[in-house]
Amino acid sequence: MTMTIKSILLSVVMLISFQNVCLAQQGTSGQPPNIVLRPADQLILKSIDKLSDRMDQMNSELTGRMDRMNGELNGRMDQMNRELNGRIDNLWMAMIAGFIGVMGFIGALVFWDRRTFMNRAREGMRLEMAADRNCIQGLLAAMKELAKQYPQVRDALASFKLL
C-alpha cells in the first residue's frame, strides 16, 4: 500500500518538474519559441483553417435557418392566437346573445302570463259581481214589497232614492 502511495507521489513530483522545464524553455516573455513548420505541417494547418472556416460558414447558415424557422413559427403562433381570440370573441357574443334571448323569453312569458291572469281575474270578478247584483236586486225587490206594508221601510227606501 505504501508502495502505491510512494509511486503516486513520485509521479506527481515528476509531472510538476516536467511542467516547470517546459515553461522554462518558453523564455521570460511567455511566448513560445519560433518554430519552423515542415510543408506537411503547413498543409495540415491550412486544412484545419479551411475546416474551421467551413464550420463557421455552416454555423452561420444553420443560425440563419434557425432564425427563419423561428420567425415562421412565431408567425404561425401569432396567426393561431388571432384566430383563437376571434373565436373567443364570437363565443362571448353568442353567450351574450343567448343570455339576452333567455331573458327576453322569460320577460315575454311573464307578461303573457300576467295578461292571461288579468283576463281570468276580470272574468271571475264579472261573474261574482253578476251574482252579487242578482242578490242585491232580489233584496231591493223584497224591500219594496215590505215598503207597501210598513211605512218606516218606505221612508228609509225613499231617503236613499230607491223607490
Provide the CA 29 distance to its chain's centre, in angstroms: 68
pLDDT tens for 85-125 read 888 888 899 999 999 999 999 888 888 877 788 888 888 88
User: Is 22 among the domain residues?
Assistant: no
Range of the structural domain that residue 101 is part of: 38-127
The count of structural domains within the chain is 1
Q: Which amino acid is at 66?
A: M
User: Is 62 among the domain residues?
Assistant: yes
User: Is 47 among the domain residues?
Assistant: yes
User: Is 90 among the domain residues?
Assistant: yes
User: Is 67 among the domain residues?
Assistant: yes
User: Is 10 among the domain residues?
Assistant: no
Q: Is the pLDDT of residue 136 over 80?
A: yes
pTM for the full model? 0.36
User: Is 8 among the domain residues?
Assistant: no
Lowest mean pLDDT among 1-15, 65-79, 88-102, 132-146: 1-15
Q: 16-19: which pairs have CB atoms within 8 A and are 24 or more residues apart?
A: none
User: Is 30 among the domain residues?
Assistant: no
pLDDT tens for 28-59 read 555 666 777 788 888 888 888 888 898 889 99
DSSP H or E run through 151: helix 151-159
Residue whose grid cell is 513548420:
37
Residue 76: the pLDDT is 92
pLDDT above 90 covers a percentage of the chain that reads 23
